[in-house]
Amino acid sequence: MRKKSILALVMAGCLAGLSLAGCSKGNNSTDADSTNSPEGKTKLKAIIVKHSLTKDVGEMKWLTDLEEKAGVEVEWQQISADWDQKKSALFASGEIPDLLFNATANSDFVQFNGLFEDLGPLIEKDAPNIQKMFSDHPELKTLATQNDGKIYGTPRYKGIWPASTASMFINKTWLDNLGLQVPTTWDELETVLVAFRDGDPNGNGDKTDEIPMDFNPIGWDFTPKLLLGSLGLPLSNGASDGYFAEGAQVKNFYVDERFKTLMQFLQKLYSQNLISKEVVTQDYSKYQSVARGSGTTAKVGFTWGWETGDRFGNELKDQYITLPQLKQHADSTDELYWSNDYYYQNYGSNAVSISASSKKKEAAMRFIDAFYEPEVSLQVLFGGMNDTDKGIKDNGDGTFAILPPADASLDPGSWKWTNSFADNGPMYIADALKDKVTLGTDMQNVLKEKAVYEELISKADEKTNVYPQNFMKYSTEDTNTLAMNQANINNITDQKWASWLTTKADIDKEWDAYVSSVNSSGLEQNLQIRQKAYEEYLASLK
């Protein structure tokens, strides 16, 4: 399933009558027992929307230490699934806790006007760390500021992540076993995939257990949409719902002729049984588990993912190499691109919000600001710097090292997501800290593997060919229009790419009618709205 958080807006009216367990009491009580603990700490209520792997946050020593330092005692409600559905009812009720971590979107501030506190004055008064972050990176204040000039959620900044979300991987051991060269074009890739299908490249005597190509559904990150860069299409920042910028114009690849070319290629591969039969329906956990094979026997030949250890597990990761972008044909003259995801990977909005009805806003902001002290932010991302959490080692000389997992059964990425807020937390990894941190083996490997894309990524002009979705803001009317239209658009595009892939439909014959239906379902209007927001963003850079 694609991520459709913006579509939760249209559900608010339907769900307003529902209740969310644990939230119905609100947070407006002013009695002494609910305001202060016996130790004189301010009691706060908070929701955190966390990763499904993340353990009970009450078990994180770095977090309990932070509460102690900030003089607060937090009652945490932890959400790991279905937040987009749950929040519509909660927000519509008007009763929300003091703090909301990783729980709000720009569209919520528009839809539920008045529910969230303007943090600007609180930041000026009680948030020196956030002030420093805004001074160092003014674009983060721009990111956090809504159309009405107010800040309802604090941003996050890492700066140490690569500019590419996905890498393209191929099993080099399989290539070697079959005497094949690393492919450099779509044509060569097809030849390799046929050999993977027929040649028993994993050498277990079973010619039916190999999956030549596997990917997530196309709306996700780890998909063949990356091959659009073979055709000169400059994807960027996750290409959410297909939107991208080219020549300072907002476009959508689902109605681009280059998408038709890609789908024709994929249909050809699928018809030859070169693509997993589950690509349309499988969830991410299935996608990951299949690629991890059976012991030292790999099952997948060619695919996309974050990093080899994360994608294939420790036993199989050394069989795979990162594949540079492919040309379509040996004589193709199209400019090559790889998706430029630097903003997507390193900048985030709405890490924490505060209820407008909270009676303890100053204490809440004091607690939020504590997360933005750079060394604390490291712990938010990688786990605690103590003997209990075992996430980071303080070398005592101003430098730090990310520790390997204390649980040897977990890879570094899973360990991080288990023991910290990870990418979902409020953080400011200051640029001055970057050279003082020795990253874990997984991140060292990520940076090494993705280096093959750096030249192509750097070619994308930030003012013409990079689509900065997380920096763009919309009015109430435009937000609602975008959501309604996108629901209609996705109904068509999701069904059509799946149908084209898995049948022998004549894509050329159906293309014009398909494009017309997508445009008339609301895409043309959405492109106009997004173009206006994009131009306003570009103007803010001057």
pTM across the whole model: 0.84
- Which one, of 438, 444, 210, lies nearest residue 308 by Cα? 444
Q: What is the 3-state secondary structure (H, E, C) of 447-469?
A: HHHHHHHHHHHHCCCCCCCCCCH
Q: Report pLDDT for 434.
A: 86
Average pLDDT, integer, range 313-324 = 95
Angle at 222 between CA 501 and CA 80, to 5 degrees: 115
Is the pLDDT at 63 greater than 70? The verdict is yes
Integer CA distances (angstroms), 196 to 168, 169, 199, in order: 17, 14, 6
Contact 292, 313 (CB under 8 A): yes
CA-wise closest residue to 301 among 328, 337, 269: 269
Query: Which pLDDT score, from 0 to 100, does residue 19 have?
Result: 35
Q: How confident is the model at residue 137 (pLDDT cuts 50, 70, 90)?
A: very high
Residue 38's pLDDT is: 63
* Mean pLDDT, the chain, integer: 91
Q: In this structure, are residues 271 and 212 in contact, taking their beta carbons and an 8 Å threshold? A: no
Q: Which residue has the higher pLDDT, 503 or 30?
A: 503
- By CB atoms closer than 10 A (0-12, 13-18, 19+), residue 395 is exposed
pLDDT tens readout for residues 77-112: 999 999 988 999 999 999 999 999 999 999 899 889
Pairwise CA distance, residues 171 & 363, whole Å = 53
pLDDT beyond 80 at 186: yes
In the sheet where 347-354 sits, what is the strand order? 72-79, 42-49, 99-101, 347-354, 154-157
pLDDT tens track for 468-487? 998 998 988 998 999 999 99
Confidence of residue 214 (pLDDT cuts 50, 70, 90): very high
Determine the average pLDDT of the residues in 199-220: 94
pLDDT at 410: 85
10-14, 64-68, 249-253, 452-456, range with the lowest pLDDT: 10-14
From residue 323, how far is each of 171, 185, 236, 449, 466 by CA, in Å? Answer: 10, 11, 19, 9, 23
Q: How far is CA 541 from the centre of its chain?
A: 24
Confidence of residue 314 (pLDDT cuts 50, 70, 90): confident
pLDDT in tens, 524-538: 999 999 999 999 999
In terms of pLDDT, which residue wins out, 408 or 380? 380
- Alpha-carbon dihedral sign for residues 118, 124, 127, 130: positive
Does residue 460 carry a pLDDT above 70? yes
Q: Is the pLDDT of residue 339 over 90?
A: yes
Identify the weakest region by mean pLDDT among 21-35, 61-75, 154-168, 169-183: 21-35
For residue 18, the model assigns a pLDDT of 34
> What percent of the chain has a predicted confidence (pLDDT) above 70?
93
**Predicted confidence (pLDDT) per residue in 1-57, tens digit:** 444 333 343 333 333 333 333 333 333 333 333 467 667 899 999 999 999 999 999
Residue 343 to residue 162: CA distance in whole angstroms: 10
For the ranges 19-33, 170-184, 207-221, 460-474, the maximum mean pLDDT occurs at 170-184
Instruction: Output the CA torsion sign for 422, 427, 433, 434.
Output: positive
pLDDT at 397 over 90: yes
pLDDT of residue 542: 66
For 258-286, what is each residue's pLDDT tens digit?
999 999 999 999 999 999 999 999 988 89
